[in-house]
Amino acid sequence: MFASATEAEQAFYRALARGDIEGLMQVWAGDEEIVCVHPGGLRLIGHLAVRESWESILKHGGLHIETSKVVELSNMVGATHSVIEQIRAMGPNGTEYAYCYATNVFHKGPSGWRMVMHHASAAPERAGAFDLHDAPGTLH
């Protein structure tokens, strides 16, 4: 279905923007061992738990997420992408932004590249502008 992990990831974020639960779940692998962790949430394992969580999140419409600072680790059958997500929403005072660090893991199978894990955690607002590896000499 997806010729690369990047193509699968792009389809994932496009489906989120549309609020398209069917399109979103088509990105996920067919095995029951898929895993999803939303910021501050429990670890969800399996299609039913993952689907129900996204249905709840998308019940009011799509999520407007832009990704940046992608770090890709890959081989012929697996890929891990670490991204910074900037989530845009309308709040009482206009447009508001939230940031997450997300790790998306993909496996290549007979039907192409599919997502097997999405793990997101809250990130500071300055996440999009600064990474520790950008600061020479900083260890911890």
- Looking at domain 5-125, its CATH architecture is Roll (3.10)
What's the CA gap between 49 and 79, in Å, rounded? 23
Question: How do the domains of the chain map onto residue ranges?
Answer: 5-125
**pLDDT score recorded for residue 88:** 87
Using CA atoms of 115, 15, 7, 25 in order, give the dihedral in degrees to the nearest 10. Answer: 30
pLDDT of residue 130: 54
pLDDT, position 59: 92
Query: Which residue stretches of the chain have pLDDT < 50?
Result: 135-140
Indicate the pTM of the whole model.
Answer: 0.87
Q: What pLDDT sits at residue 1?
A: 85
